[in-house]
Amino acid sequence: MSETLTEVKAVITEVLKIDGEGIDMDTRFVEDLKADSMDQFFLIDGFCEKFNTNIGDEDARGIKTVGDVVRYIDTRKG
């Protein structure tokens, strides 16, 4: 498991107050984790804070899965 995935899972479990069991790259925020629009806002905010980055509104709308976040973060690490 990549370091980014591990850190993304930590944000998800903290924000959604869930057990991270079963979360993988294909896990969908809305369908699998039952995240509503406020949850999604707090998740994006948590990812921005954790990875010291900014995820714009347009990019945030395209993030549907855990893998989407991991790839987004990995392409911006520098």
Query: CATH number of the domain that 37 lies in?
Result: 1.10.1200.10
Q: Distance between CA 23 and CA 7 in Å, rounded?
A: 12
- pTM of the predicted protein model: 0.94
Q: What is the residue range of 22's domain?
A: 3-76
Average pLDDT on 11-19 reads 97
Q: Residue 28 pairs with which residues in a beta bridge?
A: 65
Query: Are residues 4 and 70 in contact, defined by beta-carbon separation less than 8 angstroms?
Result: yes
Q: How many domains does the chain have?
A: 1
Question: What per-residue confidence (pLDDT) applies to 28?
Answer: 98
Instruction: Please count the CA atoms within 13 angstroms of the CA of 39 that sit on its side-chain side.
Output: 17
Average pLDDT on 45-55 reads 97
Helices 66-76, 37-51: axis angle to 10 degrees equals: 30
Place of tokens 């690490």: 77
What percentage of the chain reaches a pLDDT higher than 90? Answer: 95
Of residues 57 and 78, more confidence is placed in: 57
